[in-house]
Copies of this chain bind each other. A is one copy, B any other.
Amino acid sequence: MGEVKVIGTWSSPFVKRVEMALKIKGVEYEYIEESIRNKSALLLQHNPIHKKVPILLHNGKPILESMVILEYIDEVWEGPPILPRDPYERAMARFWHKFINDECADKMWNACWSTGEEREKLKQEAMKALEILENEIKGNKFFGGDKIGVVDHTANSIAYWIPIAANFVGLELMNDEKFPNLCRWADDYNNDTFVKENLPNKDDCIALMKKM
């Protein structure tokens, strides 16, 4: 199936999604660690628009944006499905992916790194969206149902990265009292054997945040 490379950084939830999808499919790939502060010629060549990771290089051709990459991996390689096979369930997965990223994760992350009114506004918007998500996960082990699915992976920053950042900056976002089902889901996700192997070390994440 040709040459497969992933350009990433060890600390990125977006990169981890892509690596996990390749591992689920059993695709061998070369991983190239990118420096965030000193972007390589390879990165700028293949993603001149956003200058971001992850980049999937398949036979030298770049595929960009983590969800676009997950869909590509699912379409190109055989093996366990990444997205649900049923068109309606697939549509729902795409809907929740977009909702979680646009309405929850982006706002939660940006709330961590902003201050004052801007932080409060982002927090309030994220809280409203999290209430919807709390309701959605209620009664299900994962967004994928009994098993971890693509929506769980694209929500990975809410489970792992954002709580670390929120704790680091002293911002309360997703607590047990208000979001018991989401907190339970995050625990189950982070402690899944396969996921756990693919999460960066917490202390390393905190050390990176201190440097930032």
* A68, CB-defined interface residue at 8 Å: yes
Question: Does B65 contact A94, Cβ atoms closer than 8 Å?
Answer: yes
Cβ contact of A88, chosen from B63, B88, B95, B98, cutoff 8 A: B63
Residues of B within 8 A of A49 (CB): 99, 132
Q: What's the number of copies of this chain in the assembled complex?
A: 2
Q: From A61, A68, A75, A99, name the one whose CB has the most chain B CB atoms within 10 angstroms.
A: A68
How far is A61 from B98 in the complex, measured between Cα atoms in Å?
19
How far does the Cβ of A2 sit from chain B's closest Cβ, in whole Å?
Answer: 11
How far is A63 from B87 in the complex, measured between Cα atoms in Å?
10
Cβ contact of A90, chosen from B61, B75, B132, cutoff 8 A: B75
How far is A75 from B90 in the complex, measured between Cα atoms in Å?
10
What 8 pairs between A and B have smallest CB-CB spacing? A75-B87, A72-B91, A68-B94, A63-B91, A76-B87, A68-B91, A68-B95, A64-B95
